[in-house]
Every structure is written in C-alpha cells, then in structure tokens.
Amino acid sequence: MRLLLVPAFVLCLFSSASSQNNTITAGETLIYTASYNMSGLLNELAQVTMETSAVKTSKSTLLKLKCTATTYSKWDSFFKIRDLYESYVSPKTLKPYLHNRDISEGGYEKFMKYTFNHTANNVSSLMRKKRGDGTTWEEKKTVKIGASTRDIVTTLYHIRNLDIHKASIGDNQNFTVLFDNKETVVRIKYLSKETINTALGKKECYKLAISVSNSNLLKGNNDNVLWLTADDNKILVYAKFKIAVGNGELKIKSATGLKH
C-alpha cells in the first residue's frame, strides 16, 4: 500500500496561476477508506488521512502537509501498515523545505528525510532501513534535483492548485518527484468531467489519468484515475489504481476545514 502518486516539470497544458497557493489552507482534514482487491473482492483495509497545519519556526510560518495510512485492526495480523508521510512547505507557493517518510509495512521498515536546498538545486538525504536481524543502517547523500522537483506529498497538494478548468480533454502535464533518491516523471492527463456519488454527496469532478514514465509501477491504459471536485477546493474524492499485484480504490469518507 505504498503511496503511488508522484511529482514538477512542465508541459504547460494545464496552468498553475503564478505558482501561488490559492487552494490549500491550514486546518484541512481529508479522511479516506482504502480498499484492495483480494480473491476478486474489494476489501476495505485501511484508513488514509491527509491533514494540514501551520508550524511556526524561528524565521517564518510553514504549512505542514501530513499523510498517514493505517490498516484497520482486524487486518493488522494479515499485513500491518503504519505509514507516515509529511512535508513542510511555503504556505504561499507550496515549495518544499523538508520531507519525512516513515513507513512500517508487514515488518518492513524504512525512514527517509529530505532537506531541500533550492538555491543549489539539491537535496540532503538521510535513509535509514531495518535489517532482518533488527539492526539498522543509515545512508547520507546529496541528490541533485531539477528546479521544480518536489516530494510526493507536496506534489499531491500541488496538483490541486492547477487551473484544470482551463484544460481541454486530452491535455496533459508532467511532474517530477523525488522518491527513494531518484527523480521519477509522472504524467497527469485530463480525461473529462464526470459527476459521481460520494460520501459528501453528488460531486461534479475532473477525471484525471495517471501514468509513470519508464516504469511498470502502474498498469493498464487509463486504469489509474483520480476524481477531483470541479470547484475551488479540488479535493480528491475517489481514486482507482492498478499495479502488478492487483488493484484497489480510495474513497473519501469526510472533509473538514476546507478553504472554499
């Protein structure tokens, strides 16, 4: 259940007005149920929560973007997940300064920390993994990045600032995300507008397809799709994905603290 969405490199078919954040504010909480296909049936396995908050530093106030994934207790004995992804960004532009990823999935544990240096276009990376014998090892390195490269969490929120209403069907844009110390390019394609039933009621949505360049991570043609509300908040209300070992869904459960 790794987060599969990725990435800031521009084809400019969508536009992001002056690179300003007009959508995301502190105090927003989105809660989802995550389902996975097991033996031909979709089972609700986990809760995914996305939260924003203001964090004061000695020099400024940053916006904290936090995403957690936790299996429901009845599934913990089968495959226990306790994942945390968080980024600290500029509240005006969503430019990332710090990103942490701390995952625990079925006994597999990994921690990564990125400190962004946008002047030098690089990231100071710390990776910590747990060995089979319970001991840990660390790796520190400096990774060169493009001027628009973001981490995975910042990218998820950045997509909501795109002026999708200006796009035509078939338009697409590439994004670059730094994941596991490698830059990965993901393409977002505008498919259509579609009204769907959600836990928040009927919602007119932008329907977007996702594909990953030079990777077998996501399978199928237009089988990995996001539905974002076609309003000023552009929140994700439904997603479906297809990977090498199966397919699954993400459905909105509740949304509070929205800016608009």
Write the pLDDT tens digit of every residue in 179-226.
999 999 988 999 999 999 999 999 999 999 988 776 556 655 667 899
pTM: 0.90
Name the nearest CA neighbour of 155 among 1, 8, 49, 3: 8
CB 99 within 8 A of CB 127: no
Report if residue 37 sits inside a domain: yes
> Can you give the pLDDT at residue 135?
86
Structurally, the chain folds into a number of domains equal to 1
Name the nearest CA neighbour of 249 among 4, 10, 63, 21: 4
Report if residue 5 sits inside a domain: no
How much is the average pLDDT of 46-60?
Answer: 96
Domain containing 57 — which CATH number?
2.40.360
Instruction: Give every CB contact of residue 33 below 8 A, 6+ residues apart in sequence.
Output: 44, 46, 47, 48, 250, 251, 253
Residue numbers of the domain that contains 105 = 17-256
> Can you give the pLDDT at residue 17?
42
Report if residue 54 sits inside a domain: yes
Name the nearest CA neighbour of 34 among 5, 1, 80: 1
| Rounded distance between C-alpha atoms, residue 184 and residue 57, angstroms | 31
Report if residue 35 sits inside a domain: yes
pLDDT > 70 in the chain, percent? 89
Which pair of tokens denotes residue 169? 């069907």
CB 159 within 8 A of CB 23: no
Report if residue 11 sits inside a domain: no
Beta strands 108-117 and 236-243 are unpaired
> Can you give the pLDDT at residue 13?
45
Integer angstrom CA distances of residue 224 from 6, 55, 133, 240: 12, 34, 37, 6
Q: Can you give the length of the chain in residues?
A: 260
Going 203 to 185 to 49 to 257, the CA torsion angle's sign is negative
Integer angstrom CA distances of residue 201 from 21, 160, 254: 26, 20, 11
Strand ranges, E, within 28-144: 29-38, 41-56, 61-71, 82-89, 96-105, 108-117, 122-130, 136-144
Report if residue 86 sits inside a domain: yes
Integer angstrom CA distances of residue 121 from 19, 145, 156, 184, 242: 18, 5, 21, 16, 33
> Can you give the pLDDT at residue 176?
94
| Rounded distance between C-alpha atoms, residue 156 and residue 66, angstroms | 11
Report if residue 4 sits inside a domain: no
Report if residue 65 sits inside a domain: yes
For residue 84, pLDDT over 50 is answered with: yes
CB 87 within 8 A of CB 65: yes
In which residue are the tokens 């429901």 written?
Answer: 72
> Can you give the pLDDT at residue 109?
93
